[in-house]
Structure 1
Amino acid sequence: MLQGGVLAITDNVVLSLNEVLNVVRVVKNEAVEEINPMIVTQASSLSSLPVDSLSIDLVTLISKSSDFSGDKLFEEFSRVLKPGGEIFIYQTSDVAKETVKSSLERKLLVTGFSDIQVVQKAEIQSFGIKGKKPAWKIGSSFSLKKPVKSLPKVQIADDMDLIDEDSLLSEEDLKKPQLPPVGDCEVGSTRKACKNCTCGRAEEEEKVQKLGVTMDLENPKSACGNCGLGDAFRCGTCPYKGLPPFKLGQKVTLSNNFLAADI
């Protein structure tokens, strides 16, 4: 049997108790003779309901006009209903247009009602739309239980043949790379030959010294024509390597710090 309060709202001037009980009987499909509903008439101008929040189990809206009850009044329906409470809109107009049904369904959805369905029975002349307020309250929280996924177990048999990783390496892979000696001219920071020079730079420096390089280098000559352009263009065995750029046939002057020995 229906427990709790029932609120009946209408835009009519008068609404009989029997009419309200008939509508409630259609919604609940049970005996409702002992129900004492609260009836609010001429409610088309209301913006709020004189009812406490979360105190009503069922709200019935009985209306002839298709545009009765605005969005604000629908919010009031949700406010006064208990969690899990129901609402039933009974449209008594002669023409039950599909646009009216869609409009009422949309208002219920926007307000937050669920389980919305159209009710058409012989007991009611036109049609009705039923909805339900969710059982949870706004702002309530609950934890979600996530399924625990266990990793697949890998079983290795004792008699399984395993490959030795070292056997996949060849003799070339096991050889250590040969690094150039630290004192080599190619890795040194200076341009002059280092001790124990093996790249040939020491021999080239000796050739330059044999030319009698002094503060003045008279009439330099080049076999390739690039000696005067600088070290970037000179050959690896160029006797002028290390000297500043010069023009062939002209006198080359060396600065004092160029002839100073590196420490």
Structure 2
Amino acid sequence: MISATMLESLPLSAGDKVLILTTSDTHPESMKSIVEVLSQQISQSGKINVEHVDRLLMAEFSAGTFDVILFGIIPPFTSCQSSAMLAELARVLKPGGKIITQEPVNNEHSELRSRDKLVTDLKLSGFIDVKAVASMPVSNEDAELIKRRHHVESIDVVRVQAKKPQYEVGSSAKLNFSAPKSEIVSEKSTTVWSLTANDMLDDDDAELIDDDELLDESDLNRLDTGHKGGCGGNCSGNCKKEKPKPKKKKACKNCTCGLADENDDAQPKEKTPESACGNCYLGDAFRCATCPYLGMPAFKPGEKIELPATRLTADQ
């Protein structure tokens, strides 16, 4: 039998709608006495619904119906909540509502969850402020029944309390991305930093920095520009000085940068006659019909050829 102290510690208020889930192992007399005690706490304005845990999904309660849900508060504590049941309990609970569950746990590898796993499953189902309050005392008869039912050698019945957030699953709210009022700079505050140079000069108390104080001894030393002109290097390097003529750079033997061509252009060379067909120097046998070298002996390529005077006068 559950103690009266435990019933008084339940977070119930006048006018609450309470859902109590029972199992096949629940004693009818214990259920009746608990309902009578809780009815006094919620007064006549409240309401208590008693539902078998296996018929919860078929009850089709509306979303946000109950303020408090109690599960496993009546011995023996043999049942455990599935993930589907936890999701349904979160649905029928009002935003901000509370759930109190008591179920057996086991830290060994078994079909029972550990205490930490129970807390985690409640969080994954959408509950917040999940707290394992305490371990509940269990009679020897109930303990043996739980061990046989779940095939474990040791059990611990833990009481866990959780809360539903202050919103329904799937609800939405419009976000305001405008700057908050605290970040908006007032016109009065901006005028504090709108001082001009004239404003400071008009103020007799304004302290101005002396320009000479910004320079040290190293800044006052004359820069050595390396210039040695007619002034002996005492000027800033702007005096006129005859500049030496730049030396002409010679091109290498296998020049590919174009410097050799530039040097050749600077010193024009006498052009030697070139053959159009390239065979004029071989003799008449290799010359074309209009070749100016017809009738002349063969010569070496590049050799300067002088035409005889007879070739320069027209035929009579």
* TM-score normalised by L of structure 2: 0.44
The 5-angstrom pairing of residues 218-257 of structure 1 reads 232-233=259-260, 234-235=262-263, 238-240=266-268, 251=272
Mapping of residues 46-125 of structure 1, within 5 Å: 47=57, 49-62=59-72, 64-65=77-78, 68-91=80-103, 93=104, 96-97=105-106, 100-120=114-134
Q: Does the aligned pair in 1 maintain the 2:95–2:166 contact within 8 Å?
A: yes
- 1:140 corresponds in structure 2 to 172
Alignment of 1:161 with 2:208, yes or no, is yes
* Whole-angstrom distance in 2 between the partners of 1:160 and 1:78: 70
Match of 1:183 in 2: none
Cα separation, 2, equivalents of 1:129 and 1:225: 95
Query: Which digits, 9 at most, give the CA deviation of each residue in 1:188-223, with x for residues without a partner?
Result: xxxxxxxxxxxxxxxxxxxxxxxxxxxxxxxxxxx9
Aligned equivalents of 1:116, 1:107: Cα separation in 2? 10
Residue type of the alignment partner of 1:89: T
Equivalent residue, structure 2, for 1:18:
33
Matched-pair contact (CA < 8 Å) for 1:112–1:133: yes
Opposite residue 128 of structure 2, the aligned amino acid is: S
Q: CA deviation at 1:127?
A: 3.0
- Classify the secondary structure of the residue corresponding to 2:183: coil
C-alpha distance after superposition, 1:17-66 (max 9, x if no partner): 333566x69xxxx934655411112x247545431111111111117236
**Preserved CA contact (<8 Å) 2:133 2:160:** yes
Aligned 8 A contact 1:48 1:73 in 2: no
Q: Does 1:131 align with 2:159?
A: no
- Answer yes or no: is the 8 Å Cα contact 2:129–2:163 preserved in 1: yes
RMSD (Å), alpha carbons? 4.5
Q: Indicate the SS of the match to 2:266.
A: coil
Identity %: 16
TM-score, with length taken from structure 1: 0.52
What number of residue pairs does the alignment pair up?
181
What 5-or-longer segments of structure 1 have no aligned partner?
Answer: 169-222, 241-247, 256-263
CA contact (8 A) 1:56 1:82 kept: yes
Paired amino acid for 1:38:
N
Deviations 1:84-132 (A, max 9, x none): 11111022x4xx5465321221111001111111223889984311111
How far apart, in 2, do the equivalents of 1:106 and 1:9 lie? Answer: 21
Q: Which runs of 5+ in 2 are unaligned?
A: 1-12, 108-112, 140-156, 216-249, 277-316
Tell me if the contact between 1:54 and 1:79 (Cα under 8 Å) persists in the aligned partners. yes
How far, CA to CA, are the matches of 1:249 and 1:70 in structure 2? 109
Structure 1 contact 21–32 (Cα < 8 Å) conserved: no
Structure with max Cα Rg: 2
How far did 1:81 drift?
A: 0.9
In 2 relative to 1, CA 237–70 (structure 1 residues): closer, same or farther, beyond 3 Å? same
Shift of 1:71: 0.9
